[in-house]
Amino acid sequence: MPFERGKVEANVEEAPVIRLTCRELDVLGLLAQGLSNRLISRRLDISEKTVKNHLSSIYLKIGATHRTQAALYAQYVGLIDSGKAAPSADSALTARERGVLGLLAQGLSNRLISRRLDISEKTVKNHLSSIYLKIGATHRTQAALYAQYVGIAT
């Protein structure tokens, strides 16, 4: 079951953050800050394989299917300060970019976003590039956290 904003409360009750080990909390916190597996491994002085193993365990425990959902979960349960999770850059997103960002924050793939908005996947990628530039994000997880922070995610 995907971890979606509307279903956060149910997932939190089913898989409380307290079930995570201290190391899993460390990994989840760094993931929610937008760090890659490589950077997490360097920060915690563990291998990338160990990071992947921790993430698999975390996903299972919290009901997430990918890192964006896990990062949003971390923000929801207070593992990270939402003000620090989002870039501070003020953005001037177009209505279409806000729509794309909202769907991204729900965990949709580029293909599903393109189908939902009846645009091509290439157009979705172009919008995402523009969004990343405007909000100062480097990847999907940071953009999804930004969307949550500014209230774009639905």
**Each residue's pLDDT tens digit, 65-92:** 888 888 888 878 877 765 544 444 445 8
DSSP 8-state code for residue 90: -
Cα distance between residue 149 and residue 153, in whole Å: 9
Give the pLDDT confidence score for residue 6 in this predicted structure.
Answer: 46
C-alpha 137: how far from chain center: 12
Both structure tokens of 117: 């908005």
List the one residue out of 56, 77, 55 whose CA is nearest residue 11.
77
Give the pLDDT confidence score for residue 110 in this predicted structure.
Answer: 94
| Angle, helix 37-44 to helix 22-32, in steps of 10 degrees | 130
Give the pLDDT confidence score for residue 9 in this predicted structure.
Answer: 41
Give the pLDDT confidence score for residue 52 in this predicted structure.
Answer: 94
**Ranges under pLDDT 50 in the chain:** 1-15, 84-90
State whether residue 10 is helix, strand or coil: helix
State whether residue 89 is helix, strand or coil: coil
Give the pLDDT confidence score for residue 87 in this predicted structure.
Answer: 45
Predicted structure pTM score: 0.58
Per residue in 2-15, pLDDT (tens digit) is: 444 444 444 444 44
